[in-house]
Amino acid sequence: MSAPWNSRPGRAEPSLPPRFYRKDLETRKVGLNATRRKSTGLSSKNPRLAQVTKSFQKQGVMKLLGGRISRLSNGLVEITADNRPSFSQQDGFVHAGIMATLADNAGYATLSTLPPGSRVLAVEFKLNFMRPAVGDMLRGRGRVRRLGRTLSLCEVEVEARQDGKWITCAWGSETVYCIKEKETEGITSVERRREKLRV
């Protein structure tokens, strides 16, 4: 077996300027961050995914819970939040209302499939609690199972991270009303007329 190049007689280790290493390291970091953003879909130039992020940022309740979109793709959304004592019920488990809120917002999966300028509203919501939620982080996931012209059916799931493992604590379904761009314009005009009447 031949000796490695740096152990052979008369072979000196090539010298490279320090800035080369810095540039190479920075390039790797940028590439890694870009890969992460691409995998989560949060920096996607897809207008359908961008409208989900924009709508999500308007939610006061998600700011209250510290919720954030951790994964986003066509027909799929995941929302995570750090667990804290204020989320607990009388026995120390995560309150059902917190879990239901995460599951409900996972219905944003429908919005990721609609044309830009659309909106979504929950019509029906059913959630089965399978086990008490205990852990340091919570995650709500929504998947579109059937997309119709006006209604969408989503499968929703809530998980808790316990000792580094994600455990399913609740599972259910949500029916979402799809308000497409033209309908949204009509609703906005109605809201404007109502505001004028109030004044």
Domain boundaries, the chain: 47-186
User: Which residue in 41, 195, 169 sits closest to 99, CA to CA?
Assistant: 169
- Greater model confidence, 90 or 25: 90
Contact between 94 and 100 under an 8 Å Cβ cutoff? The reply is no
Helix (H) or strand (E) holding 83: none
> What are the backbone angles phi and psi of residue 72, rounded to the nearest 5°?
-150, 125
pLDDT for 4: 46
H/E stretch holding 73 reads strand 68-73
**Are the C-beta atoms of residues 120 and 114 closer than 8 Å to each other?**
yes
Express each pLDDT in 110-120 by its tens digit: 999 999 999 99
**How far apart are alpha carbons 107 and 32 in whole angstroms?**
29
Q: Is the pLDDT of residue 2 over 80?
A: no
77 sits in which H/E element = strand 76-82
**Structure confidence at residue 6 as a pLDDT band (50, 70, 90):** very low
> How much is the pLDDT for 32?
41
First to last CA, the chain: 89
CATH class for the region spanning 47-186: alpha beta
Mean pLDDT, all residues of the chain: 81
Give the pLDDT band (50/70/90) at residue 40: low
User: Which of 109, 98, 111 has the alpha carbon at shortest distance from 156?
Assistant: 109
- Rounded CA-CA distance 168/156 in Å is 11
The string of pLDDT tens digits covering residues 131-143 is 999 999 999 999 9
Q: Is 78 helix (H, G, I), strand (E, B) or coil?
A: strand
